[in-house]
Every structure is written in C-alpha cells, then in structure tokens.
C-alpha cells in the first residue's frame, strides 16, 4: 500500500498544461521544499538533488498519451559508515579464531 497518492484528471488548455509544467520545472530546478498549485489545492513536496525519471509515450485508439514520471526515496539518503575508523582496525582473523 502506498503512503500517499494524489491523482488529478481534468481537461485543460495547452496554456494551462504549460503553466503546470513550468511550475513543476521551477520546483525541480530549485529543489528542497516545493509547493505546487494543482487545481483548488496545493501539494507540498521535498525534492532531492538526485532522482530517477521515466518518459513513456503510447499511441493507440486515436489518442496519444505522454507520461512523465519522477521518483525519489521518501527518506534522505544516508552515507554508509566507513568500515575502518582510523586507529581501530582489527588484525585479520584466521579460520582457527
């Protein structure tokens, strides 16, 4: 189950679609906390520096469908602790230990 899902389907003009994409592009460009106005409400997101993307185009049944998808983890990435801290390395162990 997903933690949260927001989905909005509506008809809009080409200019309205461009305005939504422009707002999304600005949020992606600045990163950090972003607020997007989507219809009557606002969607607040924290956008990291690195994310994954997928672009899909389907043509069929007299329609063209263009999907642009961005994914990133909900938790901030953590760096793994180093295996050896200066001055605390252990001597290699033999199979007899």
Read off the pLDDT of residues 61-72 as tens digits, 9 standing for 90 and up.
Answer: 999 999 999 999
**Lookup: tokens for 71:** 């994914």
The verdict on residue 89 lying in a domain is: no
The Cα 44–Cα 36 span in angstroms is 6
| 34 within a domain of the structure (yes/no) | yes
Query: Cα 69 to chain center, whole Å?
Result: 8
User: How many separate domains does the chain show?
Assistant: 1
| Residue with token string 């972003």 | 34
Q: Please indicate, yes or no, if residue 63 is contained in any of the structural domains.
A: yes
Q: By residue range, what is the domain housing residue 62?
A: 14-71
Domain-located, residue 1? no
At 83 the pLDDT is 58
Structure tokens at 19: 């305005």
CB-based contacts of 50, cutoff 8 Å, min separation 6 = 72, 77
Please give the Cα distance from 19 to 41 (Å, whole number): 15
Per-residue pLDDT reduced to its tens digit, 34-80: 888 777 778 888 899 999 999 999 999 999 999 999 999 987 656 65
């Amino acid at each position: 189950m997903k933690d949260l899902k927001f989905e909005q389907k509506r008809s809009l003009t080409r200019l309205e679609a461009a305005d939504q994409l422009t707002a999304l592009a600005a949020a992606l460009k600045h990163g950090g906390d972003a607020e997007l106005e989507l219809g009557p409400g606002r969607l607040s997101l924290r956008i990291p520096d690195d994310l994954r993307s997928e672009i899909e185009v389907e043509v069929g049944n007299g329609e063209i469908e263009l999907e642009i998808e961005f994914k990133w983890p909900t938790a901030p990435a953590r760096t793994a602790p180093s295996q050896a801290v200066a001055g605390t390395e252990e001597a290699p162990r033999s199979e007899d230990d």
